[in-house]
Amino acid sequence: MAPRAIYETLFGAVSATLTEFAANPRWLGGTPAFSLVLHTWKQDLGRHVHVHALVAGGALSDAGVWIRPKTGFLFPVRALSKVFRGKFVAGLEGLRISGRWPESVKTNVDWPCLKHALYAHDWVVYAKQPLGWPRGGAGLPGPLYAPGGDLE
């Protein structure tokens, strides 16, 4: 299987979810800063495709002012999970409709059954507490959140 299109869809869904939550004035109301890393295995080297995100603890306003979180957390993880799942499944459906669905998947997957299975259970966004605030005025303008975590 050529997973590139699926990996691009995964990164797009994660990026769009974090950007959407950060832009919402309810949470931050600005542009986020984050880095995403693809992992394709577990510690025992079993296949487990997921993305880790390192997210700055705030966002930049249109005026260039740093916006800190209004509460003790950056975004609500249950809401992140649901929005991410919706964006990722919609992206997979877009791949299927556009013909970019990998050939090996086309022949082995019943899309309606797969889609139902993807929505049948909760997905987990694992978020950790901030790693800490920068010291001495250098570094990023807020704590870093390292989900360590599986956006899947």
In terms of DSSP bridges, do strands 144-145 and 47-60 run parallel, antiparallel, or are they unpaired?
antiparallel
User: Where are the domains positioned within the chain?
Assistant: 4-145
Angle between helices 111-119 and 77-98 (to 10 degrees): 170
Query: What Rg, from alpha-carbon coordinates, does the chain have?
Result: 17
Q: What is the pLDDT along the chain (152 residues), one digit of tens a residue?
A: 458 888 999 999 999 999 999 999 999 999 999 999 998 877 788 888 889 999 998 999 999 999 999 887 899 999 999 999 999 999 999 998 998 887 767 667 788 998 999 999 888 888 887 766 555 444 444 444 544 444 43
| One-letter amino acid for residue 59 of the chain | A
Q: What is the residue-wise DSSP string for 108-135?
A: H--HHHHHHHHHSS---B--PPB----S
